[in-house]
Amino acid sequence: MDLPLTTDTMTRTTPDLPRYSRRWDADTASLPETRNAIADLLARVRPAPAARAVQDAQLVASELVTNALKHAPGPFTLHMEVVPDPPALRISVTDSSPRPPRHRPADPERVGGHGLRLVNLLCGALEVTPLGHGKRVTASVALT
């Protein structure tokens, strides 16, 4: 299910705070589409976030989506919403795996496996919520 970036998708009590949702099958997800959706969503925020905040949000969302693609069978959902105090983009990925993300020890020789470390550096922490059909992983990226 897609909620396109239009005014009718802004159903919160504060209508000027945009949000976006997208559900993919595991084999149809698109990282470029994810990054573009963040750029489009944050282009509607006033005052406009710094380019660095947009890039950080794109990296965080790409890492969370990549983890769902690599480690969870079945479909998953990306949900993003701007929150006001303090201004941030809340990024959630719901997938079908009950296993929480696993932090791997730092290893500069290893290719890959560094994504959660980057997410924690940019967001401070991840919130993992177990669900009956999997889990939801949520991170917030500051927009100021």
Please write the tens of the pLDDT for every residue from 43-58. 999 889 999 999 999 9
In whole angstroms, give the CA distance from residue 18 to residue 87: 12
Q: Is residue 3 part of a domain?
A: no
Q: How confident is the model at residue 135 (pLDDT cuts 50, 70, 90)?
A: very high
Which ranges of the chain does DSSP label H, i.e. alpha helix? 31-42, 51-71, 115-123
Query: What total number of domains does the chain contain?
Result: 1
Q: Is residue 84 part of a domain?
A: yes
Task: Please list the residues that pair with 141 across neighbouring strands.
Answer: 89
Over residues 109-127, mean pLDDT: 82
CB proximity list for 54: less than 8 A, separation 6 or greater = 38, 39, 42
For residues 29 and 118, the model is more confident at 118
Distance of alpha carbon 87 from its chain centroid, rounded? 16
Q: Is residue 26 part of a domain?
A: yes
Q: Is residue 117 part of a domain?
A: no
The whole domain housing 28 covers 18-105+123-142
In whole angstroms, give the CA distance from residue 64 to residue 85: 23
**What per-residue confidence (pLDDT) applies to 16?**
65
| Sign of the Cα pseudo-torsion (126, 129, 135, 136, in order) | negative
- Exposed, middle or buried, 21 (CB in 10 Å: 0-12/13-18/19+)? middle
**What per-residue confidence (pLDDT) applies to 71?**
87
Q: Is residue 70 part of a domain?
A: yes
Q: Is residue 110 part of a domain?
A: no
CATH number for position 95: 3.30.565.10
Q: Is residue 87 part of a domain?
A: yes
Q: Is residue 60 part of a domain?
A: yes
Q: Which amino acid is at 86?
A: P
Please write the tens of the pLDDT for every residue from 16-69. 678 999 998 877 778 899 999 999 999 999 889 999 999 999 999 999 999 898
Q: For residue 14, is pLDDT > 60?
A: no
